[in-house]
Amino acid sequence: MEKKHLISRVLPGSIAQELQVCPGDFLISVNDQPIEDIFDYRYQVNDEFITVVVEKADGEIWELEVEKEFEEDLGIEFANGLMDDYRSCRNRCIFCFIDQMPPGMRKTLYFKDDDARLSFLQGNYVTLTNMSDSDIDRIIRFHLEPINISFQAMDPALRCQMLRNRFAGEALKKVEKLFEAGIRMNGQIVLCRGVNDGDNLEYSLSRLAEYAPVLESVSIVPVGLTRYREGLYPLELFTPEDAARLLSQVRRWQNRMVKKTGMHFVHASDEWYILAGQPLPEAETYDGYLQLENGVGMLRLQEEEFLESLSRRKPDGRSFTASIGTGLLAAPYLEGLMEAVRKSFPHVHITVHAIQNEFFGETITVSGLITGQDLIRQLKGLPLGEALLLPCNMFRSQEAVFLDDVTVDEVEEALGLPIRIVEEGGEELLKAVLGEQAPEHRKRRQIYEQTGCGDRGET
């Protein structure tokens, strides 16, 4: 059966717009080849001369001959980002966050993806257990990179235990194939206390180091534990002493890998430094911030960008009073940035409110998992100023809606002031705290629902 792909958007000024391709049209083929998914599409449209067959909304078939630059995009977006069904996860990981979600939330939040195409498109991490040899061959043939891989452990038996999948250890052999083909990779280890830390982590890092520099980086993030863990594997929180030991281990490996490859290779997420009470590393330690989506260097980069933007501003007498709602993790750093603002803009007063996560549990400290009901409960009745500034990672895709389905409008009504959603980046934050951001609600990128990017919401 012929597979057709609904076009949802045509970018202004793009090749597709010049060819009068419109939203509502269907893509039929490229270079006389049917398109199975986004991998096929990206590969086929790379050439300088291509033939595209489109079915218009009225059923008319158009065959379009295109001459363009190599790898130049047509400017088409599809209703289904993958152009195919999403692949659900076959694992039952002992640390899975979705298993720790409260009941009664929207169905999309319970979907577990493990789709390598999302790794290529959106930076999601995949375990490789859901990939066939032909999938690996396609990645190599199309040279799709980087691929982000959730390793967790390099001991095959331990990996099977952690993923609760008897094929999880065998799947590590696919890494060897990607390495030999020169496909760039990034790795992730979700660290579980007493399971894959200590000597087990040391073994994993020694094995992963063999893949450097094709494997460009490995991030180590602490397991997130909500209060909804009844009947699940008994995991424990890390202590400040645990965090200090982990950071010492990471620094030792970084020193070793800098000598070997010129890159630090192993990175601890921001949570470890805060838990250990240690300062964040300098910017150059992050090797160009390869793992921001895992909360590795997010706070340092935001601080860098913010202070750089602030240094270019001329002090003035503007007046603006507002509040920032954020998680416990980022609050101390934001308070430091607001103090720097006050030195140049004495009449700008921004209060940082650290929101305790009562919905998921007090051990969850990232802003991306703060809910609307927690904001209302903890901020109602407080003097919040002219606006409440919230980071964009609090919101679900395409809508100003929190994870608990509370809308921005509902929070605005409950608190009695406008909410301004702050885009990522230090410069955007500075504009917001200086009262320069437009008040309209903006559409958000994806947090957990697997129809968009797989951001972990770490800031």
- pLDDT for the residue 135: 83
Query: DSSP letter at 169?
Result: T
Give the pairing type, strands 49-55 and 26-30: antiparallel
Q: How far apart (Å, rounded) are the C-alpha atoms in residues 148 and 116?
A: 8
| Dihedrals phi, psi of 40, to nearest 5 degrees | -60, -45
Could you tell me the pLDDT band of residue 276, with boundaries at 50, 70 and 90? very high
CA-based nearest residue to 390, from 355, 420, 429, 427: 420
* Cβ atoms within 10 Å of 154's Cβ, excluding its own: 22
Domain positions in the chain = 5-78, 98-294, 301-433
4 or 122, higher pLDDT: 4
Beta strands in 177-330 (DSSP E): 185-191, 215-222, 266-268, 320-327
Tokens standing for residue 341: 């603002």
Does 443 have pLDDT greater than 50?
no
Does 100 have pLDDT greater than 80?
yes
Does 370 have pLDDT greater than 80?
yes
Q: Which residue has the tokens 């997420």?
A: 269
CA-based nearest residue to 40, from 155, 123, 146, 139: 139
| Dihedrals phi, psi of 221, to nearest 5 degrees | -120, 145
Q: How far apart (Å, rounded) are the C-alpha atoms in residues 171 and 132?
A: 9
Q: How far apart (Å, rounded) are the C-alpha atoms in residues 450 and 124?
A: 10
* Cβ atoms within 10 Å of 32's Cβ, excluding its own: 9
| This model's pTM is above 0.85 | no
Could you tell me the pLDDT band of residue 198, with boundaries at 50, 70 and 90? very high
- pLDDT for the residue 89: 72
Q: How far apart (Å, rounded) are the C-alpha atoms in residues 352 and 69?
A: 48
Q: What average pLDDT is seen over the chain?
A: 88
Residues 58-65: what's their mean pLDDT?
94
Q: How far apart (Å, rounded) are the C-alpha atoms in residues 272 and 205?
A: 17
Residues 280-287: what's their mean pLDDT?
95
Residues 143 and 43: beta-carbon distance below 8 Å: no
Residues 6+ apart with CB under 8 A from 113: 86, 87, 88, 89, 124, 450, 454
- pLDDT for the residue 1: 53
Q: Which residue has the tokens 């934050």?
A: 429
CA-based nearest residue to 190, from 338, 46, 291: 291
- pLDDT for the residue 398: 56
- pLDDT for the residue 36: 82
Report the interhelical angle of 331-344 vs 298-311 (nearest 10°).
0
Query: Of 123-127, 263-267, 385-389, which range is least confident?
Result: 123-127
Please give the helix or strand (H or E) that residue 34 lies within, else none. strand 33-34
Amino acid at residue number 248:
S
Q: What percent of the chain shows pLDDT beyond 90?
A: 67
276 burial type by CB count under 10 A (0-12 exposed, 13-18 middle, 19+ buried): buried
Does 235 have pLDDT greater than 90?
yes
- pLDDT for the residue 119: 52
- CATH annotation of 98-294: 3.80.30
Task: Specify the 3-state DSSP secondary structure of 122.
Answer: helix
Residues 414 and 380: beta-carbon distance below 8 Å: yes
Query: DSSP letter at 107?
Result: G
Does 367 have pLDDT greater than 70?
yes
Could you tell me the pLDDT band of residue 223, with boundaries at 50, 70 and 90? very high
Query: DSSP letter at 102?
Result: P
Per-residue HEC secondary structure of 236-279 comes to CCCCHHHHHHHHHHHHHHHHHHHHHHCCCCEEECHHHHHHHCCC
172 or 398, higher pLDDT: 172
Does 226 have pLDDT greater than 50?
yes
| Dihedrals phi, psi of 250, to nearest 5 degrees | -65, -45
**Topology, domain 5-78:** Pdz3 Domain (2.30.42)
Q: What does R_g of the chain's alpha carbons equal in angstroms?
A: 23
- CATH annotation of 301-433: 3.40.50
CA dihedral 45, 47, 51, 56 (to 10 degrees): 20
Please give the helix or strand (H or E) that residue 68 lies within, else none. none
Residues 206 and 265: beta-carbon distance below 8 Å: no
Tokens standing for residue 57: 């909304």
Query: Of 41-50, 278-287, 303-312, which range is least confident?
Result: 41-50
Residues 418-440: what's their mean pLDDT?
87
Q: How far apart (Å, rounded) are the C-alpha atoms in residues 253 and 250?
A: 5
